[in-house]
Structure 1
Amino acid sequence: MAFLKGGKALALGISTACLYPMAMEDSLQTLIDSGFREFEIFINTYSEMEPEFLTMLEEKLKPQGCRVKSLHPFTSGFESYLLFSNYERRFQDGASFYRRYFEMARRLGAEILVIHGDRSFEKSGLNDREYYDRFGILSRIAREYGVTLAQENVNAFRSQDCGFIRNMREYLKEDASFVLDVKQAVRSGRDPYEMCEAMGKNLVHIHINDNRPGRDCLLPGRGEMDYARLLSILRENHYRGDFIIEVYRKDFAQISELADAYRFLQSAGFESCFG
């Protein structure tokens, strides 16, 4: 099912966040029952990181041949405070806590941990270069676990800005990896295609959705997104990541609509050869 590039299959999948606030394990099972096999798992609380909980997830995933591509931490909203403030000891403690996520990712076979980063320059006290240096430290810790730390573009965070992302890529080089979220770019008043280009060859993961004037998040196929243009940019940058459908529960009425969106993306060329 995929863009075969360098022997790696690029797949379509979905985030358990689409069914929030359904319990995460129930969201996962519902999506498996709907035919999905590739997932981003959104961790919603501390207990969902415990070993016995992970065992339960593995028991759901393995019999169906499912793959966890990525994890999204429940502490995203606190990363300004935990990881990107100018209080050094809290950063060290925060980095130690994030090792728990990296270990969870390694156990589930997830390649990527997604972060939002810093919400406010004024509150954190870090300039952009200091932010990049912090991210680089965390990125190298993640690699100890075989995991890629990836910065998502997020509305009302530093990462909403294309220039910030471009400068981060140029400064950190191989230590910078990115997640493109189309709805977050639109919500920020940014051009999602420009954001994709800013991430360039360091783009490793995509949250795919749709939009139209007045609606910044829709299921793929329900809006006006120019997917052909997006795919063209991805080809130019030799994209090798996957595509994860991520919307909110209010954005669809029936769970069957998620499978419809999957089929739309197939027909739009998301499982064709980049060639």
Structure 2
Amino acid sequence: MPFTRRTFLHSLAAASLTSQFAFARAAAAIPFGFSLYGMKSLPLNQALQLCADIGYSGVELALMPGFHCDPATLDRTARRDLRTRLQDLALGLPALMENLPILVNPTQQRSNLDRLRLAAELAHDLGGDTPPVIETVLGGKPTEWNDVRGKMVDLLGDWARIAAEEKATIAVKAHVGNALHLPADSVWLIDQVGSRWIKLAYDFSHFERQGLDMAESARIMLPQTVFVHIKDNVDVGGKTEFALPGDGHTDYPKLLKLLRDGGYAGAVVVEVSGQVFGKPGYDPAAAARRCYQQIQPAFRAAGLRANAALNHRVKTGV
């Protein structure tokens, strides 16, 4: 029989990661993961082993060109090996990170749609019946929001079509430096698109930078949120920069309680900003350990376990 993507998926069925992602919604648990966006300098297997050894219950894989898991270059053998590796290390896979600015010309939009389809295929190749969400920022500038929001709705409609065909959930993230930068606008945007496959990623650091209230931003966004990033903000020479979670002033026990009480059923994943890993002397292993040591106590303070696995079926399109 000729090799097809369908036969490839069938060949992986026996090694399904489904058991890693099943957990009772009633349990007081939120999975705690680390994004390999902050481990680009390490070989993939070393990065995965490190996250497992530290105690993280899952990872987010970075798909952008030049990172570990660009789906355009990850062949079927590499995908099978990666899936097995995740299973062997008992690491869940809550998300895949892409970076697809949406305010682009038609040629780039077609390229973006191709990238989304590749990401969705990888999500199923690695996650089987419980594919990770695909999370991305959307680009643009804050001052452009009123002018471009209609175009964003139209272009996200194209994304939603691909997501529905591939049965993969896309989580868009508001960014302090992007056109989409506010909680209410985030909800408005996906409400206008009206697809169960387009949801939100929540990252309070971008709202903290704007002086917004944590509880209010969570109240607005959590009903449509399927993925959470965490990082901090610090003052460096009179300028605000992103920092490792726990190095700033974010109240993580409060944040985790808001997630718990708001019915959030996804993972909380550390994102190391390029403002951190781009500095000379950055050590990804030390950063991952520091984040775990600083945030793990917040889970206990919030009355949560951080070592549960994830059920992606909750509040996504799946």
The answer for unaligned runs of 5 or more in structure 1 is: none
Tell me the distance in 2 between the aligned counterparts of 1:182 and 1:252: 22
Aligned to 1:14: 34
Pairwise CA distance, 1:151: 0.5
Paired AA for residue 36 in structure 1:
Y
Please give the alpha-carbon distance, in whole angstroms, between the structure 1 residues aligned to 2:65 and 2:161.
25
Residue 114 of structure 2 is aligned to residue 107 of structure 1? no
- Aligned residue for 2:203? 181
Question: Could you say what secondary structure the match of 1:5 adopts?
Answer: coil
Tell me which residue corresponds to 1:65: 90
1:141 to 162, 165, 170: 162
Could you list the per-position Cα deviations for residues 141-194 of structure 1 after superposition, in whole angstroms to 9, with x for gaps in the alignment?
Answer: 223333210001223111223342132144234544111123233345544444
User: Does structure 2 retain, via aligned residues, the 8 Å contact 1:217–1:251?
Assistant: no
1:94 paired residue number: 112
- d(CA) in 2 for partners of 1:194, 1:252: 33
SS across alignment from 1:207:
strand
Which residue of structure 1 lines up, in the alignment, with residue 265 of structure 2? 240
1:198 alignment counterpart: 220
Which residues of structure 2 form unaligned runs of 5+? 1-20, 307-318
TM-score (norm 2): 0.69
Does the 8 A contact of 1:111 with 1:146 survive in 2? no
Distance 1:123 1:163, change over 3 A: closer
Question: How far apart are the structure 2 equivalents of 1:198 and 1:31?
Answer: 32
Instruction: Give a deviation string over 1:100-124, Cα, whole Å, max 9, x none.
Output: 1111111111420011113248999
Question: How many residue pairs end up in the alignment?
Answer: 266
Deviation at 1:28, TM superposition (A): 2.2
Kindly provide the CA deviation profile for residues 213-241 of structure 1, in whole angstroms up to 9, marking residues without a partner as x: 55654444443222344345434532222
- Please tell me whether the aligned partners of residues 212 and 225 of structure 1 are also in contact (alpha carbons under 8 angstroms): no
Give the match's secondary structure for 1:158: coil
Q: How does 1:259-274 map to 2 (within 5 A)?
A: 259-269=292-302, 271=304
Q: For residues 146 and 87 of structure 2, what CA distance do their matches in structure 1 show?
A: 45
Residue 169 and residue 101 in structure 1: after superposition, are their counterparts in 2 closer, same or farther (change >3 A)? closer
Separation (CA, whole Å) in 2 of partners of 1:270 and 1:131: 39
How far off its partner does 1:260 sit?
A: 0.9
Q: C-alpha separation between the residues in 2 aligned to 1:253 and 1:10?
A: 23
- Provide closer, same or farther for how the CA distance between residues 26 and 126 of structure 1 changes in structure 2, counting only shifts above 3 A: farther
Equivalent AA in structure 2 for residue 98 of structure 1: L
Contact 1:112–1:148 (CA<8 Å) still a contact in 2? yes
SS in 2 for 1:135: helix
Partner secondary structure for residue 70 of structure 2: helix
Q: Indicate the structure whose relative CO is greater, using CA pairs within 8 Å and at least 6 residues apart.
A: 2
In 2: Cα distance, 1:271 partner to 1:3 partner: 14
1:84 equivalenced with 2:84 (yes/no):
no
Quote the Cα distance in structure 2 between the aligned partners of 1:270 and 1:57.
33
* d(CA) in 2 for partners of 1:60, 1:220: 27
**Given the two structures, how large is their TM-score scaled by the length of structure 1?**
0.79
**Partners of 1:242 and 1:3 in 2: CA distance:** 12
Answering whether residue 185 of structure 2 is matched by residue 164 of structure 1, we say yes
Question: What RMSD over aligned residues (CA atoms) do the two structures have, in Å?
Answer: 3.5
Query: Any conservation in 1 of the 2:254–2:302 contact (CA below 8 Å)?
Result: no
More helix as a share of residues: 1
Contact 1:165–1:198 (CA under 8 A) maintained in structure 2? no
SS of equivalent residue, structure 1 residue 119: coil
Distance 1:39-1:163 versus aligned 2 partners, 3 A rule: same
Once the two structures are overlaid, the 10-residue window that deviates more, 142-151 or 182-191, is 182-191
What whole-Å deviation, never above 9, does each CA across 1:32-59 have from its counterpart, x for those lacking one? Answer: 2323231111224267321233233224
Q: Distance in 2 between matches of 1:185 and 1:237?
A: 18
What is the CA distance between 1:253 and its match in structure 2?
8.2
Deviates more, 1:22-31 or 1:210-219: 210-219
* Bigger mean CA deviation after superposition, 184-193 or 9-18: 184-193
CA distance in 1, matches of 2:283, 2:243: 6
Task: Name which of 63, 74, 81 aligns with 1:56.
Answer: 81
